[in-house]
Amino acid sequence: MTSLPSTEGRDYSDTYDPDADFDRHYTIATGRRIATWVEPGDTVLELGCGTGLMSAEIMAASAPGRWVGLDRSAAFLERARARELPAATFVTADLDDLATVGESFDHVLATNVLHELADPLEFLRRAAARLGDGGRVHVSLQNPLSIHRVCAVELGLIDSLVEVSDRGRQWGTRGLWTVEDLTGLARDAGLDVIAREGVMLKPLPNHLMEQLPEQVVEGFIAAARHYPDACAMNYLVLGRG
């Protein structure tokens, strides 16, 4: 392991670009799935919205009535606002303090963010408290059982499937959770799993995936439905019953 400084708990917008990083594929693929749940006029709270890449993806496919995006990074939010998305408000906030949002929403999004928070359970409880009747929490998170991590263990590059990689540490990852771990966390927060999908089969590390033609990456995104357990990300739709 190298000794890159961890960004745990800190704004990393000077070193990480969500629109350019390979993570953009997860954002877009997950956004497409979430969009199928959003009815015209629905209200959406997006926690850890970054530059608004997911907001834009979902709004391109559906017509929410109100969208509130929260992030701690003023630099990311400036880029989100520059997208000039209809019905969207982007607010600087720490996700450890959801008290800043008083209203209820049809959908609360927390994609690819739980792993950066000090207390994911408390965060999920607060997210659940923001749900209106029949509302849904949409959560996605890296899957420690992803094929590329299994290969990395086999090659001796990491010691265990749940080891936080150097890249992960560089951008604030505090831990990795399996889908069972996430399900348990949701239950402890008073939420049931309504649906579960995998996001993208990813056999290779990011720098090698980036060398593949877009069409091949799209194929790995499409094939995810056949192998949810082996995908790069888990996506869960949560609700109260």
Give the binding site for ligand SAM (CB under 6 A).
18, 27, 48-50, 53-54, 71-73, 76, 94-96, 111-113, 116-117
Nearer to ligand SAM, 8 or 103 (CB): 8
Nearer to ligand SAM, 10 or 226 (CB): 10
Report, in Å, the least distance between residue 76 CB and ligand SAM: 5
Q: DSSP character for 178?
A: -
The total number of residues shown for the chain amounts to 241
CB of 157 to ligand SAM, least distance (A): 22
Of 90 and 220, nearer to ligand SAM (C-beta) is 90
User: To the nearest whole angstrom, how small is the minimum distance from the Cβ of residue 27 to ligand SAM?
Assistant: 3
Q: What are 161's two structure tokens? A: 């499937």
**CA-to-CA distance for 213 and 17, rounded, in angstroms?**
21
Residue 73 C-beta: closest distance to ligand SAM, Å:
4
Query: Which amino acid appears at position 187 of this protein?
Result: R
As measured in angstroms, the least distance from the Cβ of 57 to ligand SAM is 9
Pair 199, 147: CB distance under 8 Å:
no
Which DSSP state fits 100? G
Burial (CB count <10 Å: 0-12, 13-18, 19+), residue 125 = middle
Please, which residue, 73 or 143, has the CB nearer to ligand SAM?
73
Residue number closest to ligand SAM, CB atom: 48
The dihedral of CA 182, 125, 107, 82: what is its sign?
Answer: negative
The least CB distance from residue 146 to ligand SAM, in Å, is: 16
Helix spans in the chain (H): 23-35, 53-61, 74-82, 120-129, 147-154, 166-170, 179-188, 206-209, 214-223
Q: Which of 147, 199 has the CB closer to ligand SAM?
A: 199
Residue placing its CB nearer to ligand SAM in the complex, 120 or 135: 120
